Amino acid sequence: MGRERDLPHPSHVMNKSWQRSGLAHNNFPSLRPDNDIKSTNAPHEPRHRQFHLLAKMSTNAKVKPGQLWGKSKDDLKKQLDELKTELGQLRVQKIAGGASSKLTRIHDLRKSIARVLTVINANQRHQLRLFYAKKKYLPLDLRPKLTRAIRRQLSKKDASRVTEKQKKKQTHFPVRKYAVKAE
């Protein structure tokens, strides 16, 4: 909300005072139809907006998750190392007093590292699921979480088991069927 303070409300654009001040439709960048966000050479833009636009332009090195899924484990490890070294360098530059556009780059790098790690972990878990598919027991972290009560429930097989005595009772004294005789 605070960023829009220096912008006129669209209803005020046709106002004569706006036209006299030179901020009418033809001079105001955000109201021009052919406005290009990437152009930062607008001197009338506030300083914080210019930095914001520069930061948007420098995010071209974001890692796309779609490209990561097809990569091998070695490629992913290599990319992760590169991203981490770049992040370390940027943090050093930040302390040394680098440009503020580097701060948004740090954010993007951290998110890219998270994406790579997510793909690595997902692949690892997939391999583990394949390995344990035919085994009797699954590791705890691969089992379904559900709720504590459901996890502690008897299996259907165990719940339907009956003692020998109960089985004999059921066969010899089944539930009687009653019917009203039609007259």
pLDDT at 46 exceeding the cut of 60? no
Say if residue 50 is in the same domain as residue 19: yes
Number of domains the chain is built from: 2
Q: Is residue 21 part of a domain?
A: yes
Express each pLDDT in 67-125 by its tens digit: 999 999 999 999 999 999 999 999 998 888 877 777 889 999 999 999 999 999 999 99
CATH code of the domain covering residue 81: 1.10.287.310
DSSP letter string, 24-77: STTT-GGG-TT--TT----TTS-HHHHHHHHHHHTGGGPPPHHHHTTS-HHHHH
Say if residue 124 is in the same domain as residue 78: yes
What's the rounded Cα separation, in Å, for the pair 24 and 8? Answer: 9
The range of the structural domain enclosing residue 6 comes to 2-57
Say if pTM beats, i.e. exceeds, 0.85. no
Q: Is residue 158 part of a domain?
A: no
Q: Is residue 35 part of a domain?
A: yes
Q: Is residue 18 part of a domain?
A: yes
Q: Is residue 112 part of a domain?
A: yes
Q: Is 15 left (phi over 0), alpha (psi -120 to 50) or beta?
A: beta
CA count, 13 A, side-chain hemisphere, 104: 15
